[in-house]
Every structure is written in C-alpha cells, then in structure tokens.
Amino acid sequence: MLSVQNLTKSFVSPEGGTVAIVDVRDFALGTGEQLALRGESGSGKTTFLHLIAGILAADGGSVRIDGVEMTALSEPRRDRLRAEKLGYIFQTFNLLQGYTVLENVLLGMSFGPRGADRRHAREILARVGLGHRLNHFPHQLSTGQQQRVAVARALSNHPKLVLADEPTGNLDRKHARDALLLIREVCREQGAALLFVSHDEEALAQFEVRRDFAEVNQATREAGR
Ligand SMILES: Nc1ncnc2c1ncn2[C@@H]1O[C@H](COP(=O)(O)OP(=O)(O)O)[C@@H](O)[C@H]1O
Ligand SMILES: [Mg+2]
C-alpha cells in the first residue's frame, strides 16, 4: 500500500553545510495496517511525512502509494492523487479559520474524487461527534473538537493512507487519548492504513505495532538524534 525506497532529503544548515535529515532505505505499510513511529523532536518525522505526501520534494528515492509512483508525477497529478489517496492530520489541526466546520470538510473534499458532497460531509462530521457543530467556526470549538474536524476532513475522501503527525501534541491527556482512539477507529472502519508519528510515549502505547524512527531512518541513527 505504502512503499518507500532509498528516500533522501538534506537541508542546508545555517553554517552552510548540508545535513542529511531523511535517509530511509526500505519502509512499507500494508493495506489497513496501523503503525506508530517513535522519534525524538528533530529526528525528521515531519520531514519524512512531508516527503511521503509530496508536500516536500525528495532529493531522491521512491514513494509508492497504492501502486502509484508519486515522485514521478507532474505537480497537478500529484495534487490530485494526494487528495484522492491521502489524509493528513496535523498537530496544529490546520483548519481554515474563516470557514465553518462543514465548510472546512467540504473544502477538503472539493479536491477529492467525490467533490464537495454536503451529505457525506455531514455524515463524517456526525461520525466524529460534531453533527451539532456544523456551522461553528474553528475558534468557537475546543481544541479536542478542532482536532475532530481535522480528522473528519482527513477521512472525508476515504483515503487509502492516513498520515498523522503528532496529532495529539496540542491536546490534554484525556482528549489526546480520545482523539487517537477516534482516528484509529475511523481508519479501521474505512480500511485506511495509518502511519502515526510521535514522541509521546502515552500516545505511542495505544498502538500494538510500534517502531523506533531511528531504526527506519538512517539519517537519525547516524546523527544520533
Ligand atoms: N526547511 C528546512 N530547512 C533547514 N532545516 C530544516 C528544514 N525543515 C526541517 N529542518 C531540520 O530538520 C530536522 C528535522 O526536522 P523535523 O522533520 O521537523 O523533525 P521532527 O518532526 O521529528 O521534530 C530539524 O533539525 C530541523 O531543524
Ligand atoms: Mg514534527
């Protein structure tokens, strides 16, 4: 479902040297699988997810999602496929502040294969427990509710793969637990694979399958990050 090979990314340091941040030789996730990657802050987790999503261009290597080589696509095609196959959940939610809960989900859907389907948007929002908050703006919601909007948006196109970048980092303990349970449940219901990255041991402990990012990412290992 997801297959990554020889994926590399370096950044130029303020001193002018290049620093290898991601060097993943071989990484795969099967259909519907859920995996938690444990990595310290600065170990390259976000960069890795950005490379998988094509938000950031890799220096080299291959990312295949659902059989499609993402790195070989033109930008418009990659944008289309990303909207179709990928859901992304951010630590900071990344909701559009000037739009309602319903509109945030509809906007996410409008780039996807089914378009802005109001009925489906309402259904997925009801599924995450926000059926009564459709016309609220993000700032009128609690942080836990805001993350649930982001979960609904990420899952609204029925992606094959969901990337979750420290999605519980801005939530208190109870809401973090609930949010993660919800993310895992909805992914399971839809048959989406889930790649979760975090340094939060409590969140990581909710997963049956965990790996150290340093074991996946050669660059982390070599830098001792
Ligand atoms: N655009 C960039 N330019 C230069 N360095 C960057 C850039 N983005 C990230 N880095 C560096 O790459 C490293 C990994 O960052 P990141 O992927 O955000 O780690 P994590 O998500 O694990 O905390 C950090 O040392 C960070 O400073
Ligand atoms: Mg990060």
pLDDT, tens only, 160-219? 999 999 999 989 999 999 999 999 999 999 999 999 999 999 999 999 999 999 999 999
Which domains occur in the chain, in start order?
A: 32-57+78-213 (3.40.50.300)
Sign of CA dihedral 100, 103, 107, 109: positive
Which atom of ligand 1 is the closest one to the Cα of 165? 21
Strand duo 34-38 + 2-12: pairing: unpaired
Does the CB atom of residue 45 touch ligand 1 within 6 A? Answer: yes
Q: Which of 92, 218, 213, 82 is nearest to 143 (CA)?
A: 92
**Residue position matching structure tokens 């997925």:** 124
Query: How many angstroms separate the CA atoms of 125 and 116, rounded?
Result: 14
Average pLDDT over residues 43-55: 96
For ligand 1, atom 7: residue with the closest CA? 11
pTM recorded for the entire structure: 0.95
The SS3 call for residue 74 is: coil
At 84-115, the pLDDT tens digits run: 999 999 999 999 999 999 999 999 999 998 89
Angle between helices 143-155 and 173-190 (to 10 degrees): 10
Q: Is the CB of 43 under 6 A from ligand 1?
A: yes
Question: What was the pLDDT predicted at 100?
Answer: 98
Output the residue whose Cα is nearest ligand 1's atom 17.
44
**Binding site membership of 42 for ligand 1 (Cβ less than 6 Å):** yes
Ligand 1 near 57 CB (within 6 A): no
Average pLDDT score over the chain: 95
Would you state the pLDDT for residue 137? 98
